[in-house]
Structure 1
Amino acid sequence: MDVAAIDRGKADLAGHSGSDDLMVGMKSVRVWGTLGWHDIRQRYRRSVIGPFWFTLSTAIMVVVLGALYSTLLHQDVKDYLPYLAVGLVVWGYLSSVANEGCNAFIGAAYLIKQLRIPLTIHVCRIVWRNFVILLHSFPVVVVLLIAFGHWPTLEFLLVPIGLFTLLLHGVWVGVTLGVLCARFRDIPPIVTNLIQVVFFFTPVMWSPEILKDRAWVAEYNPLYHLIETVRAPITGRPIHWESWAWSIGLLIVGFAFSQYLMRRARNRVPYWL
């Protein structure tokens, strides 16, 4: 299946190097799109509801955690559940991309050693797979918004832009971690444990307002701003330009750094695997 999908997209893969690996790989939508769908289909092969298990598991988690933490944090359930739902869905995407990105090239070693294709394709495959999972979880958010009487405002038009920036963030994160982890095999467990710690310092289940004069903990957390670019327009919260500035600025810096790594290490990765 992997080789067949790559064969169909050979025209998109010709003549790439470390300097244009990112661009050629991202443009090969036919290849990484097919591979990503194949991964999801294989994971839920012979399942009755297939990928909608993501929707069900998200709904259960939101209801259980929402009932608990809305009481502990003294939050109104009508506002808290949609807030929590979006936070968990976006965090699930970001954490999965980071964890799986660590093994993007290690897991695809058999392909990398046999075929000269852009390394970015292996990252885009992971990013696309997790983005589809994110989209399968979003019906939970929609149901909660309708159930509690939250209707879309004009700011809701920013949601597709926020989701697209998340998609792009996943690419540079996956490329960066993929290259570093191929060279240094101690990094994947470090990333896994770091994500677990950062989760508690990121306003996913709690709001920055409850910190009062210590709200800077959230304001200087880039992950909070990435989540807010999607959560604020969905839930009707005030949209702060700082969140978009953080998101776009981090996107530029991240792609610049991942491009630097590709130029330096693209031809060395097969020898590290």
Structure 2
Amino acid sequence: MGDAVIDRGKTDLASHDGRDDLIAGLSAVRVWGTLGWHDIRQRYRRSVLGPFWFTLSTAIMVVVLGALYSELLHQDIHEYLPYLAIGLVVWGFISSVANEACSAFIGAGYLIKQIRIPLTVHICRIVWRNFVILLHSLPVVVALIVFLGRSPSIEFLLVPLALFLLFMQGVWLSVVLGVLCTRFRDIQPIVANLIQVAFFFTPVMWSPEVLKSRAWVAQYNPLYHLIELVRAPLMGRPLQWESWAWSIGMLVVGFAFAHLLMRRTRNRVPYWL
């Protein structure tokens, strides 16, 4: 099915190079959208719950860890459970995208060698399928927030924009990791280990307030701001200008770097596979 989808759209995607690969790839929504959805259907084929298994596992983890750490950290469970749930869901998206991006071009090597389409299509395919899983879990988080007595505030309207920025962050990050890991295969295990370590240094299960005078550790953590971009409006917190500034700044710098990297390496990637 994947080859058929690409064959139907490859005529429109054939004329591109490293200078416009990002734009051409992002524009091919029908191609990477269909491929990403096909990946999800194949992964959960013959499964009753399908991608909702991720939602169920997240719900179980939130309830167990929430009950435990709310006592250890002396947090109000009505405040802590939504905080933890949103953090785990967004972190799951970030970590999955980063880990899968390392093998994005390697896994699609047979397509890259045979069909000339933007490399960014393979990147968006990965980001999209993980984004769909994220969207499966967020309604459960919203239901949990309402169940605990919170009602959506005006800040909730910022959630779609925050999710869009999160998706685009995943695209540029995946382009960079995809290219570097294809050229230098040792980077992939390094990224996997860094993601594990970063989890403990990022306010996913704990809040910056517990650090007191060392709260700057969280404030200068870009991953914290990506999570807070979604968590703050969902929990009805005031607009966090620092998080939006960090996120937009990272997006601009990240895409500039990804464009430069793609422009220099676009034609070399097939030879590295």
TM-score category of the 2 structures, normalised to the smaller one: over 0.9
2:235 equivalent to 1:235? yes
More divergent stretch after superposition (7-16 vs 73-82): 7-16
- Equivalent residues in 2 for 1:206-221, closer than 5 Å: 206-221=206-221
Give the 4+ runs in structure 1 shifted more than 6 A: none
Structure 1 counterpart of 2:137, one-letter code: S
Q: Where does 1:85-96 land on structure 2 (aligned, <5 Å)?
A: 85-96=85-96
Structure 1 position 240, deviation (Å): 1.8
Q: Which moved more, 1:61-70 or 1:119-128?
A: 61-70
TM norm structure 1? 0.98
Q: Secondary structure at the match of 1:113?
A: helix
Q: State the Cα distance separating 1:239 from its structure 2 match.
A: 2.4
The 5-angstrom pairing of residues 180-199 of structure 1 reads 180-199=180-199
- Alignment RMSD: 0.8
- In the TM superposition, residue 238 of structure 1 has moved relative to its aligned partner by 2.8
Partner residue of 2:9? 9
Distance 1:145 1:121 in 2: 36
Structure 2 CA distance, aligned partners of 1:87 and 1:132? 17
Task: Percent identity, please.
Answer: 77
Residue 53 (structure 1) shift: 1.1
User: Match of 2:156?
Assistant: 156
Q: State the partner residue of 1:205.
A: 205
| Distance of 1:211 and 1:192 partners within structure 2 | 26
2:88 & 2:108 partners in 1: Cα distance?
28
- Encode CA deviations 1:185-221: one digit per residue, 9 max, x unaligned: 0000000000000110000000001111100000000
State the aligned residue count: 273
CA distance in 2, matches of 1:166, 1:240: 15
Matched, 1:134 2:134: yes
Name the TM-score, length of structure 2 as normaliser: 0.98
Q: Structure 2 vs 1, CA of residues 184 and 152 (structure 1 numbering), >3 Å: closer, same or farther? A: same
Tell me which residue corresponds to 1:146. 146
Match of residue 54 from structure 1: 54
- Structure 1 gaps of 5+ residues are none
Q: Is the 8 A contact 1:85 1:140 kept in 2?
A: no
Work out the CA distance in 2 between the residues paired with 1:11 and 1:63.
50
Letter in 1 for 2:84: L
Q: How many Å apart are 1:109 and its aligned residue?
A: 0.5
Contact 2:172 2:254 in 1 (8 A): yes
Q: Is residue 142–residue 234 contact of structure 2 (8 Å, CA) maintained in 1?
A: no
Q: Give, in whole Å, the separation in 2 of the partners of 1:257 and 1:192.
A: 22
Cα deviation for residue 49 of structure 1 reads 1.7
Q: Does 1:244 align with 2:244?
A: yes
1:165-184 alignment to 2 at 5 Å? 165-184=165-184
- Structure 1 residue 50: deviation in Å? 1.4
Give how far 1:58 is off.
Answer: 1.1
Q: Is the 8 A contact 2:229 2:243 kept in 1?
A: yes
Moved more, 95-104 or 230-239: 230-239
Other-structure match for 1:70: 70
Q: CA deviation at 1:139?
A: 2.3
Q: Distance in 2 between matches of 1:210 and 1:140?
A: 27
Q: Which residue of 2 aligns with 1:32?
A: 32
Alignment deviations for residues 74-118 of structure 1 (CA, whole Å, 9 cap, x no partner) = 100000000000000000000111000000001101111111110
Distance in 2 between the 1:197 and 1:72 partners?
A: 21
Name the CA distance, whole Å, in 2 between partners of 1:51 and 1:211: 36
What is the alpha-carbon distance in structure 2 between the residues aligned to residue 182 and residue 123 of structure 1? 13
- Aligned partner of 1:44 in structure 2 is 44
Contact map agreement 1:155 1:236 (CA 8 A) in 2: yes
Match of 2:22 in 1: 22
- The gaps in structure 2 that reach 5 residues or longer are none
Moved more, 229-238 or 7-16: 7-16
Aligned residues of 1:12 and 1:24 also touching (Cα < 8 A): no
Mapped to 1, the partners of 2:67 and 2:238 lie a distance apart of 24
Partners of 2:97 and 2:201 in 1: CA distance: 19
CA distance in 2, matches of 1:173, 1:227: 15
